[in-house]
Amino acid sequence: MRRTPRLLATVAATLLAASLSPAPVSASASADTATAGSTATAQLPDRVLAGYLHTSFANGSGWVDLADVPDQWDIIHLAFAEPTSPTSGRLEFSLCPHTECPDVPSEQEFIAQIDDAQARGKKVVLSVGGQNGQVRLETTRARTAFVESASAIIDRYGLDGIDIDFEGNSLYLEEGDTDFRSPTTPVITNLIGALRDLTDRYGPDFVLTMAPETFFVQVGHQFYGRGQWGGADPRAGAYLPVIHALRDRLTLLHVQHYNSGPIMGLDGQYHFMGGADFHQAMADMVLTGFPVQGDPSQFFPPLAPEQVAIGLPASTYAGNGHTSVAEVQAAWDCLTTGSGCSGYTPTTARPGLRGLMSWSINWDRFGGDEFATEHGRHLGT
């Protein structure tokens, strides 16, 4: 997610750009591989709208009290907790300063608003990362700091779970780490371990969501890290081992279908953001599964439909690739009923598809709550 909208000029050729030079990391044990088809048990409505609430910063969209969040939103992601340094693992979370957000409540009032939202059936979740919050768990010490500091924030505010919105250089794959089923890169394995620690600590009702960009998920169909050609960006597909290892605990994956370059779908064609075709193709990839780096022996298994939502910008102000209400709803109907499809045709209809995610509640309020109103009505949230 972007604190301020930023136009990206990403194109497919960038996938073969010169490799990064990540800092050396210490060795870490491989994560266990989860069983395909097992699902998390955190209780949610059959259809959900998940939205990010700007709580730690201002960006022109305006402060929105939790008490004023429209009722259509079922999951409220508090954005963002950020680390004290990229490699410390230690998270900090604080409300937007009064100098930037004059209407910000006191911490006590904010906690009371969280309690009230939860009493109305909402899940209030701590989102970690964002555009500025680079998190690289290079060591087991950073993993421990991540778990303890995240737990302290969750306990202090009485939150329902955690959202992983790692962007930029937070996740990457080291040379030789080519199998998403048994990763060896410490920033990957330590994150998997940290999230297992947190879900173990809080139990099956703990909400675990992830909001990767398409580059970190669907691009893995063509390119995975440096890959067999040795020239791809080491971040390509880097979320795949995290999603796979935690699929038994993952409540919701809502890939950002925006701020994206053209992505090759399961039909071998490139799809471009901003229309129903893109959402149909990108969602179908995680619902059907796909060979990683085109290798049939490395097949990323599908997620259960109830674990999947589509990530969207709330308005043209919120991100590059905004899609009109009509196009979003056409894509939703195509994916859930198999009817009205244009462009890409999904493998099969998934009536259990969980919902939509938006960046953000603030930008939607700024634009008159169109996202919550129109999509809430269409999905029945």
Residue 209's beta-bridge partner residues? 163, 252
The whole domain housing 137 covers 47-379
Concatenating the DSSP letter of every residue in 116-185 gives HHHHTT-EEEEEEEETT------SHHHHHHHHHHHHHHHHHHT--EEEEEE-TTS----TT---TTS---
pLDDT at position 231 is 65
Entry pTM: 0.90
Count the domains in the chain.
1
Residue 307 has pLDDT above 80, yes or no: yes
At 63, give phi and psi (nearest 5°): -75, 140
Tokens of 251: 């409540």
Q: 60 in a domain, yes or no?
A: yes
On whether residue 6 sits in a domain, the answer given is: no
The answer to whether 216 and 232 have CB atoms below 8 angstroms apart is no
pLDDT the model gives residue 1: 73
Amino acid 138: pLDDT: 98
Q: Give tens-digit pLDDT for 321-371.
A: 999 999 999 999 999 999 999 999 999 999 999 999 999 999 999 999 999
Question: What is the structure's pLDDT at 10?
Answer: 37
Mean predicted confidence (pLDDT) in 284-300: 97
In this structure, is residue 175 part of a structural domain? yes
Cα–Cα distance, 322 to 370 (Å, whole number): 13
**Statement: residue 22 has pLDDT above 60:** no
Q: What is the CATH number of the domain that holds 168?
A: 3.20.20.80
Residues 19 and 226: beta-carbon distance below 8 Å: yes
Amino acid present at 126:
L
- Whether 5 shows a pLDDT value over 50: the answer reads no
Residue 139 is assigned to a structural domain of this protein:
yes
Q: In this predicted structure, what is the pLDDT of residue 377?
A: 97
Structure tokens given for 306? 């109830």
Average pLDDT rounded to a whole number, residues 145-150: 98
Does residue 53 register a pLDDT over 60? yes
Of 337, 312, 317, 338, give the one whose Cα is nearest residue 327: 312
Please identify every residue annotated as catalytic: 167
Q: What is the pLDDT of residue 41?
A: 61
* 142 HSE (CA, 13 A, CB side): 23
Distance from C-alpha of 173 to C-alpha of 185, rounded to nearest angstrom: 6
The CA-atom distances, in angstroms, between 161 and each of 43, 157, 164 are 12, 11, 10
Q: pLDDT tens-digit profile of 87-141? A: 999 999 999 999 999 999 999 999 999 999 999 999 999 999 998 899 999 999 9
Task: Specify the residue for token string 């040795």.
Answer: 230
For residue 19, the model assigns a pLDDT of 31
Q: Is 167 within a domain?
A: yes
In this structure, what token pair is assigned to residue 356? 């939509």
Task: Evaluate whether residue 294 is within a structural domain.
Answer: yes
Q: How far apart are CA 63 and CA 58, in angstroms?
A: 7
DSSP 347: S
Tokens of 53: 């609430």
In a domain? residue 368 = yes
At 2, is the pLDDT very low, low, confident or very high (cuts 50, 70, 90)? low
- pLDDT above 70 coverage of the chain, percent: 88
- State the pLDDT at residue 38: 47
Tell whether 24 is covered by a domain: no
Q: Please report, rounded to a whole number, the percentage of residues in the chain having pLDDT higher than 90.
A: 86
Give phi and psi for 135, each to the nearest 5. Answer: -130, 110
61 near 363, Cβ under 8 Å?
Answer: yes
